[in-house]
Amino acid sequence: MPIHLRAEPGDYAEHVLCPGDPSRATHIAETFFDPGFRLVNSERGMLGYTGTFEGRPISVQTTGMGCPSAGIVFEELAQLGARRFVRVGTCGGLLDGMKMGDTVVAMSATADDTTPIRYSGVNGFSPTATFALVRAAVDLASAENSTVHVGPIVTSGLFYDPDPTAFSKWKSTGHVGVEMEAAMMYTIAAIHRIEALAMMTVSDVLSDDGSTVRISDEELKHGVDTMMHLACRIAVS
C-alpha cells in the first residue's frame, strides 16, 4: 500500500481523472459517475473515488496544487496500476482572442518548475500528451461545438509570479496556457509508459502587462462541467 493513497491494487480503475481540488473530485463522482461509486482514499483530504461512467470503469483522484504534491499522487497511482491519466482543472489563457470558459488541450508542457526536471533528470525535457487522446479530445469537442485550443502550455511553480513579464514571455514562444501540474503528470507518464492528457478550462485571461481578468463563478462552473463531461468520455474511450 502506498504511503499517501491508502488503497490496494484494484481499488482504482486503470483510467483516472486527476483534478487538483478535492471538492472537484467529489463533484465529478456525484455528477458524472453512474450510481454506486465508492470512496477509495481520504488520506490527508486527498479524496479519490472509483465507479463507472456509462458502464465503463473510471476513477477520480485529487492531486493537490503544484508539481511536488501532484508528483506523489501520479507516482502512487502508477504503483496501483493506473494506465491512463486525464488531468482536469483550470488554467490561465495566453492566446489573443481566448475567452474565459474555453477548453485548452495541452499537447506538451514546459516545466517552469524544478520538480519535473529533477524527476526526469533531463534538462530541457518537455513531455508530451498521448496523441490519440489529443485527437479524441479535439474530435469530441468539435462534435459538441465546444471551443478548444490545442498547443503547448507552461507548468509554473508560482501562482503569484513576481515577474510581470512572465506571461508575455510564454505567450511569445507559442504557449497557450499556464497551470501548475501538467508537466509533472506528463513526465511521470512518460517514465512509466502511461497514457496522459491534460484538459483545462480557461479561468483567467492573462495580459502581457501581468494583469488578469477572472471568470465569474457561474461561468467557471459551466465551463468546467462541459470540459469534465468531455474528459470522462475520453478517459473511458
Domains of the chain plus CATH, in order, are 15-235 (3.40.50.1580)
Position 138 scores a pLDDT of: 94
Whether residue 204 lies in the annotated active site? yes
Strand partners, 108: 128, 152
Helices (H), the chain: 22-32, 67-79, 114-120, 131-143, 166-172, 182-192, 217-235
Position 220 scores a pLDDT of: 86
pLDDT < 70 positions in the chain: none
Whether this model's pTM surpasses 0.85: yes
Position 166 scores a pLDDT of: 86
Under 8 Å between Cβ of 16 and 85? yes
Radius of gyration of the chain (CA): 17
Catalytic one among 204, 208, 209, 217?
204
C-alpha cell at 189: 507518464
Position 86 scores a pLDDT of: 98
Position 144 scores a pLDDT of: 87
Position 93 scores a pLDDT of: 94
Position 156 scores a pLDDT of: 95
